[in-house]
Structure formats: C-alpha cells, structure tokens
A and B are shown apart, each in its own frame.
Chain A
Amino acid sequence: MKNRIKVFRAMHDLTQENLANALGVTRQTILAIEKGKYDPSLDLAFKIARYFKVSIEEVFSYEGQLPGS
C-alpha cells in the first residue's frame, strides 16, 4: 500500500518523531509506514488522516488487485 505521509508531514512541517508522538506510536512505526514496510491498522490509518485533516484515500492508496479482476 502506498502512502503520502511524507508529503503531508512536509506540508505541516513535522518530524517523524513529532507525528509519532501526536499519534501515540513510535518513530520507527512512522518510518516503517513511510517506507512501505508496514501497513498501519485501520485505526491508525484513520488517525493519520484525521490528524492531517484529509480523507484516508488522500493519504493511502491501495494498489493490490481484487480477486476475480
């Protein structure tokens, strides 16, 4: 799953640590999400989107194929 967290972070002038503290996760988790090594839970994904005051689709994009398509 791709995401634009780094872009939104830059727009809001936030470090990974600041964002992690605001969301209640570790800096390593934010780093792993930005690098695409970890997909956040639904709860965390919504928290990220709400923190940046955007919809979840603007932050995360699903690129996998649905079965049968």
Chain B
Amino acid sequence: MRRNSFYILAGIVGLALVGIFWLSVEIYNPTLITVAFIAGIVLLYWLRTRISDRIEDERTILISQKSAMRTIEVFWVVFFAISLGGRTRARCTGAPQTTPPAPGRGPYPARSSRFYADDAPLPDDLPLCRVQDVLRTAIRRVGHR
C-alpha cells in the first residue's frame, strides 16, 4: 500500500469516527464512540505497518523525539499556569477551603453577593477579587430600579 493510499484511508476512518460520534450522541450511547475510537486507532496503526514506502527512519524518529520534548516543555508550563489560575479563582469565589482560615478571619463569603445589602459597607476581609463581583451586582441592581 502506498503512503497516499494510507492518508486517504485515514481520512475515511476519521470521517467515519465523526459519524459514529454523532450517532452515539443521538442514541445517547457513549460506549459506541469509545469502542469505535479505539478500534479506529488500532486499524490505523495496522494500516501503517502495511505501507510499502518507508516513512520512518533514524531522522524522522529523532524529529519526533524532539517534537515530543518541545510539546512537553510547552505543555507543563501552560498546564501549571492554568492550574494556578483555577486555584486562584476557586479561592476568590469562596470555594470550600481545604485549610482552616487564619485566626481572627472569618470564612470567605459565598459566590453570590446577595448577602450584602445595597447600602451595607463591604467587609474588611473581602478579597479584592470579590470586590468586582459585588460592584457588578450592585450596578445591575441600580439598573433594574
């Protein structure tokens, strides 16, 4: 089998998987797409071994290794940054704390700012990131009047 034939078959398998995904959504059967995806990948790997044109040698393997290293280097930075942002956001929105609050400070307020009356002063221990939510809610209330 030539390399171009493999690419055509890979496109057909991809389209089939898209159709199976749509079908699995329609009939609400997640197992179907899971099994179909694994079967599709196995089929593609088997077809890849049937290619008569050589597509892999020491140079392509080296390029793949370098690409994988770069991907990991970029991925861990992005993943860590997103995790930090998510953790920060969770703390700002008053998600349940895993550690007890410092002595003398109460728990962070709940996400909704409905606990604050219109003319009530903001509490001293309100995190700065929550001030935005409170002001936004207050502005919306003024707009509704």
Contact = CB atoms under 8 A, between A and B. Distances in A.
| A pairs with B | yes
**B interface, by DSSP: helix, strand, loop or mixed?**
loop
Interface string B115-133: 0000000000000000000
A38 B58 CA distance: 11
B63 to A, nearest CB: 9
Contacts of B60: 26, 29
Contact of B54 (A24, A38, A40, A43): A24
A51 to B, nearest CB: 15
Which bracket fits the contact residues of A?
Answer: 10 to 19
Interface string A7-25: 0000000000000110011
Nearest to B57: A25
Interface residues of B, number: 7
Nearest to A38: B59
Interface-central residue, B55, B56, B58, by most chain A CB under 10 Å: B58
Interface string B42-77: 000000000000111111100000000000000000
A41 B62 CA distance: 11
A20 B55 CA distance: 11
A28 B54 contact: no
A20 B53 CA distance: 11
Nearest to B62: A38
Interface-central residue, B54, B57, B60, by most chain A CB under 10 Å: B57
Contacts of A54: none
Interface of B: 54-60
Given A26-B59, A38-B59, 4 more contacts: A20-B54, A25-B58, A26-B54, A26-B60
Interface of A: 20-21, 24-26, 28-29, 32, 38, 40-41, 43-44
